[in-house]
Amino acid sequence: MTDISNNAAYIIKKINDIWGEKPGKKALQKTVFLIEQKGVDLGYDYGLHFYGPYSEALDTATIFLSTDGVIEFDYSGRSHLMSINEKNFTIEPEKLTKKQLDQIDALIEHFKGRSPSELELLTTAIYAYKHLENKSRESVINGVQKIKGLKYPMEQIQRSLIDFEYFNLEFSA
């Protein structure tokens, strides 16, 4: 058994444990983005991508972990589902405090049951909020619509904004 200290692998394992399912690439990308928005710096920079905020470094990390046999990909469905090869590896977080680990667990638990599409919408709304000068609700909605076009109906966009409170994000008047 080999011990691995890697935060991407650790988060995949925590999602497996807490959600009781394997995350796909999109769910992992969005969960890590949300963890970072909650104040836990995992060192992944995000830019805007077709499916919302995306970290090339995180994607590369999962590819290398897969090459090393730590992460196993299941390609049988529409998504690349990830799990940890627990027969050969034990996974530990890398340089995270107990408080940060508790925040990660709480966030993964909080978003349990959310679809990758719902996570995509929320992370896109947060990304728009963070990059807009005008932080009003209307401005964020317009930003999401500009980024996503007609992919999400207005009521779904508005519903996603409820989660802003969880991240202590407030709209301006």
When pLDDT is cut at 50, 70 and 90, the band that residue 16 belongs to is very high
pLDDT at site 76: 79
pLDDT digits (tens, 9 = 90+) for 149-163: 999 999 999 999 999
Give the pTM. Answer: 0.95
pLDDT digits (tens, 9 = 90+) for 44-81: 999 988 788 999 999 999 999 999 999 999 987 777 89
pLDDT at 112 exceeding the cut of 80? yes
- With a CB cutoff of 8 Å and minimum separation 6, the contacts of 102 are none
- With a CB cutoff of 8 Å and minimum separation 6, the contacts of 60 are none
